[in-house]
Amino acid sequence: MTIAVYPGSFDPITNGHLDIGIRAAKLFEKLIFGVYDTPAKKLLFSTAERVEMVRQATVDLPNVEVTPFSGLTVDFAREVGAQAVVRGLRVGADFEREFEMALMNKKLSPDCELVCLMASLKYQFLSSSLLKEVASLGGYIDDLVPKTVAVALKRKVHSRV
C-alpha cells in the first residue's frame, strides 16, 4: 500500500490545505494528515481542536486519516509506514524553504520521497497566519475555510478580545 503523510500545524486548516489534501488523496492509497503537536510558532488552537477540524474537513475522503505527531516528520512517516511526504507550494519563498527541508529529510531518511503539489491559483495567497489576522479584524473568511472551521475561528478570535 502506498502511504503518504501530509504534515502541518493546520492552525487552522484552510481550503488551500484541503485542496492539496484532496489532490494528494487521489495519488496515494492512504494519506495521513499529520497534525504537528509542537511547532515553533504560536498556535491559536490546541492540538485536539486542530485534529478535530481536520477530521471534520476530510470526513468525505475515505482513504484519509488524521493523526497528531511530534518530533521529526521523517520519523513520523517511518512510524506510519509512509513512503512519501506531501507538501503544498504557493510562491517562490515556499519552494526555497521546502527545498531546504527536503534535502535535510533526504539525509535523515533516504527512502522517503517528497511530493510537492502546486497550490491552486485561487489559494496562492492563503496562509493560516493571514487568515487568523483577517478573522481577528472581522474580515470575511467563510469562502477560505471549511464551514466548521469558520465557526470555530470566529468563536476563538472573538473570545480573545
Nine-digit cell string for 114: 517528497
pLDDT in tens, 30-73: 999 999 998 778 899 999 999 999 999 999 999 999 999 999 99
Please tell me whether the overall predicted TM-score, pTM, comes out greater than 0.75 for this model: yes
For 110, what's the count of Cα atoms within 13 Å in the CB-facing half-sphere?
0
**C-alpha dihedral, 23 to 64 to 41 to 103, nearest 10°:** -60
pLDDT given for residue 161 in this prediction: 54
- Give the residue numbers annotated as catalytic, written as ranges: 17, 41, 90, 128
The domains of the chain, with CATH numbers, are 3-124 (3.40.50.620)
Strand-pair category, 64-69 with 30-36: parallel
pLDDT for the residue numbered 41: 80
- pLDDT tens track for 106-145: 999 999 999 999 999 999 999 999 999 999 999 999 999 9
pLDDT of the residue at 104: 93
CA distance 69 to 97: 21
Rounded distance between C-alpha atoms, residue 63 and residue 28, angstroms = 8
Pairing between strand 113-118 and 30-36? Answer: unpaired
